[in-house]
Structure 1
Amino acid sequence: MTLKINIMLVSILVAIILVLAGITYTYTQTISRHTVENYQQALTKEAAKMIRMWLDHRFKLINALARTLEDLYLTQGQDPRPILKMTMAAGNFSDVYLGLFNGTMIDGANWYAPGDYDPRTRPWYRRAMEEKKLTLTRPFMDQGFWKMVIAVVVPLVHNNEAIGVLSANIILDTLQASVMDLRIGKYGYAFIIDSQGTILVHQNKSLMMTTKIQESDPALSTFGSYFPGRDAGSFSYRDRMLSFHKLTDTGWYLCTNVDQEEALALSKNTGMLFAMAMVLKILRILALLLFLTVGGFALILFISKNRFEAIVSGKDKDLRGEIIRRKELETHYRTLFNMATNAIMLTRNGIYIECNQKALNMFGLAEDKIIGRTMQDLSPAIQMDGTATKLKLTQLEQSHPSGGSDVLKWTFNRADGSEFPAEIGISTLKLDREMVKVYSIWDISKRVNAEQSLRQAQKMAAMGEMLSAIAHQWRQPLNALSSYIASLTPAFYNQMISAPFIEKLVREADTQIQFMSRTINDFREYFRPSKNKQTFEMMDAIQSAVKLVEPQLRQNNITLDLDLADAEVTMPILGYKNEFVHVLVNIISNAKDAINERQANSPDRTVHKLINLAVFKNSYEICLEIRDTGCGIPSHLLEKIFTPYFTTKGTATGTGIGLYMAKMIVEKEMKGTIHVENRYTGVMFRICLPLSPGENGSGENPAKDNKENHD
């Protein structure tokens, strides 16, 4: 009887163990399947975020452009084409255009609509008007490129009334390249469908816009009724797994398709950890049951438990040490942050969220007066170059949406209302899982004041020469006026004074006086500083400089040769005209002195006294070459001539700041280049300046000449 009971007990124990093993296996399989699905959905979600960020960047560009057009262009009558072109380049759009409520079509790619073309009848225009917000159109064939595109459209509103629609085309190949970069394992891939299941982007282009996903494979026939109404999910068929995630505000779904075995391999680490935890729980139950028959198992489990706890304890200690180290690093970097010699300010979505002590000192504001404000709040309405601050911020955001710009100049306000110039550098970093922009700001007030002092010193040094030139210019008209006055006495005694005599005398005297007045105006214009950058003609600046120095050159028997082959061609330059005239006068005056020095060093022979000015223009810049037949510059001094206070004339006649200021004006203020080199006789200075923005051939890519429609 006892044997039967023992056999029965053992049988029951074995049965329980088998049942528990079966439950464990089934439960583990279920966990593995759910883990694979969750892992795939997580990958799909992250990929969808990347695509959404790609789209959001272009949405922000178009929204910003729409607001700019509403505020500054369409309501003030300005030509919007330049900013349409800028947005095309910034967002990598194939075209940016707008249709107005009166039927006018304005295209950023310089496409001009046929006479019967009415944008108000186009699907992209109607789509924006129906949605009344930024949205996407269905893909369509762009007749200009013969490529499939989608359009980002947004209505333009002024005074609560729709005045048109802004539209930007994105070539589907561009979106497809971003999707194809999303590799899932070795053989997995990603694609995009719309809410009806139509394939929009796929590695097999023959399926795009022609096939629905549920029609692409018989095993997917039920997928069409599965995914509508869901934001995310997974669908298994045959030996593959299809996961999808909805792209917010687009009606599209990003899908990933991967082999189930490969998906299991990708997620095996997560699945194994979870399965191990469940197995340990079941082993504890088995250990309790087996304790009655196998005491040794209890000891093994006890040892394993102690070993596991030791590992966990070690990991806990490591984690605590890592936390302490991170806190020390945070304290270290916080100290460096506040001890920096430049102002450092962090922004999120354009709003300041943190700043260091140097920023508080620089602006003279308490921290709560900076945090929560924007860059525009801390700036004057107009920047130092005459551009509105709001417009310049928009341009900065469009040209560097993710930061990483070169160092640029900016004007800020202090707490007392005074303005100060600064240089700022912008970069981005990830903070608390969000991207923030870091602004490094340097106060350059002292440097700007020093540069202004150098310019004033240069003007004062040049003023002596200019006064000498005025005296020389006036000598002849003064002699003429003196002779006119002296002729009155004998004419009176000889009874020769008559109406014709007086009229002739007055007319000739007035001619001399007008000449003297024009001379004063020329020199007064020379010493008047330019306040803002403006577009001026290179030939006008050259003529102004020639007027000022020509009397001195004639006095020294120096010939000025103007080689102006392109004189009839417009040569617009953006910069400071009067300061540029200073540069030319300084270089020509130096050439005059060099020629005179060569003549003085060679008294026994005649020096060919010549200064030549040559101008030529290419597709993106204008160059001016000034050559002389002077004594030249020693080769070991060529690198030093642009150094402040360096002169080869001696302290009696030279200040050493003329060429330094010339380099500052040409390269720093006008973004050009200045170069000097010795020639066979004398020296050649070459000045190259960029053409004024907006000129043909100014470096911009030419727009498409032919385009049939935007539909």
Structure 2
Amino acid sequence: MNHFKQKYLPTLFFIFIFCSLTIAYIVLVFINYDANKTMMEGLVKTNQLNIVKGYKRQIDEWLSVKKRIVFSASTFLSPLDPKKNYHEIRQILQNAITTGEFRSVYIGYENNAFVTGINWNAPKDYFPTQRPWYTVGKKRNEVTITLPYIDSDLFKDVISIVSPVYRNHELIGILSSDLILDAIQKEILSINLPFNGFAFLVSKNGQILLSPDGFSEHKCSGCEPAISAILSNEKNVGTTTYLHNGEKYLVFYEPLENSDWIFATVLNEESIFGELDEQLFGNVIMAICFGLFGVLGVLFFLFLSRKIFEHKRLLDSFAHSNVQAMAIVDKKKHIVLANEPLKNFLALHESIKVGQPLVYLQEREGKQGLIQTIIDSVNEVMNETLNAKIMQLPNEETSECYVLQVMPIIEKNEKIEGCVVTINDITHEYRLETHAKEHEQIMIQHSKMAAMGEMVGAITHQWRQPLAALLVLMGMLRVQVKDKMISEERLVESFDKAVEIVKFMEQTLQSFKSFYKTGQEREYFDCATVIEEVVSILKPIARIHNIDLSFIYDYKKDYPLFSYPNYLKQILVNLVSNAKDAILEKNSNSFEGHIIISLEEGTDGYTICVEDDGLGIQVEFEEKLFKAMQTTKGTKGTGHGLYLCKLLVENKLGGSIHVHSLSNPTIFSLFLPKGNSWTKMS
């Protein structure tokens, strides 16, 4: 029971709260329904009055432009006589038609003269002064708009704008222009009235001018009760109502300023509240759906919350684990999280306070060097590089080593939000690596000592012949001096020869000394010169074993390199020594062997090949040829020679070593990259 309460009671509580809120919302919707109904009616009335005013303003502006054009035309016609200036009058009328977009423009005079701007000939019984447009213009004595009347040309209702024409303050005629009401008709049809509404134009005497059904009062059956309601209302502008076919309608109307017209719109009241009822129904359905989705949302939220809680628990466990020291810093460089191992790493006497700036650690007693390194690394990552920084922090005195990692936290918009700082103790791995390097160095020194034995043997052989010659020369000089059988010139010549022999021995000794000088710095040297030194020292001992050691290269060229010449010498001595041993295993001293060293220049570096015609290498040794503790010489080999060659070539010289042919002949090749040797040498 307790387990049920702990696991499901919070979920049921959330569902109960959400369902209660949903029911309260539905009740509130019904309570406010009547108020919303009244408010809806008020909003509709306000909106419709605004629509009426807006379209009334557009029609007023349209009529105002037409009136100005008619008035301007009447002004131009005032000084013209219909008999003398017939063509000028007709041109003015045609211009007015074009400018005002009238169906026709014409003028009638007091003497019943008549001029029109269109191609229409008036009948003989046509008297302008008796036409409705003439009588209206004369009666109003201003630019005005007529009521619909039967046109003599079209034989249907038209509306005209008329203007009196005066000359010397005396009325001489009336100018009339027939309106094209299609534009207003389109405007009325384009009015998007809700609730089955419609709009129409009516004169103040109740005659329909324009309606959605056209230019006729017989085509708008719904307009008649609306017109009756407008005319019976005492207000000139506003709202009224009427009943028609058992339904109630709202009428909104306002008179035009430039005419005796009234613009009106009609809405069905039941349609207004019908939509409100639909909205009420929709709100109830939406509330129910909202409640259902809310319950599902609560369940999903609880599911996610449980997942987030589990992830947070894992993160907290990781952050406070004793495996590694860890801290999280926000974008203001304030500490958000710091675990206990970090405090121990920094040798602090108290726990690290969350929320403090990172630099506050400088004020605490601890490993200030490590603290300063952390602060500098965080500043570099967050202010400059925005990239992760990983660095080793070795302590030579204690042989301890830590790895500091500063990982930036970057949002999708590439803005940094903070960083994660971790410190790992890699002392064990560091000591193993140090031991491996020391062992590697010992192996290199052993290899060097082994090669030195080769060199000592070569020098011993090289010195044997000059020492014997020097002893013979000294013995001959002793006898000749004792018997006084040598001239002074002969004595000087003998001494010069002795000096030459000693210089040769000294040169051999200097080559040996330079071969194994202790300098381990990179330097500029000529690759061919270094190989020549190796060949000159190893050639005598090769000759002892009836082996021809030769060096092939283009002596006219320079081969500059910026690297370690001693390591290159050591590699070549190992390869030549292996080649010599392979030849001796194949042949006795009675057969001549060959070792050829070649040097070629490529685009990116130099290729040195060591070729011999010895016994060769078995195929099964090819894959493990350059691995440690692997030898092709059985008990005679140590398994370090080629492994050290590969180690020196790749780690020291930055090149590579390969075997291109296992036998007939055996060929090893070294590739040494140039880098920027040419630029530095020049």
Normalising by the residue count of structure 2, what TM-score does the alignment of the two structures yield? 0.47
Structure with larger RCO (C-alpha < 8 A, sep 6+) = 1
Normalising by the residue count of structure 1, what TM-score does the alignment of the two structures yield? 0.45
- Structure 1 or 2, whichever has the larger Rg, is 2
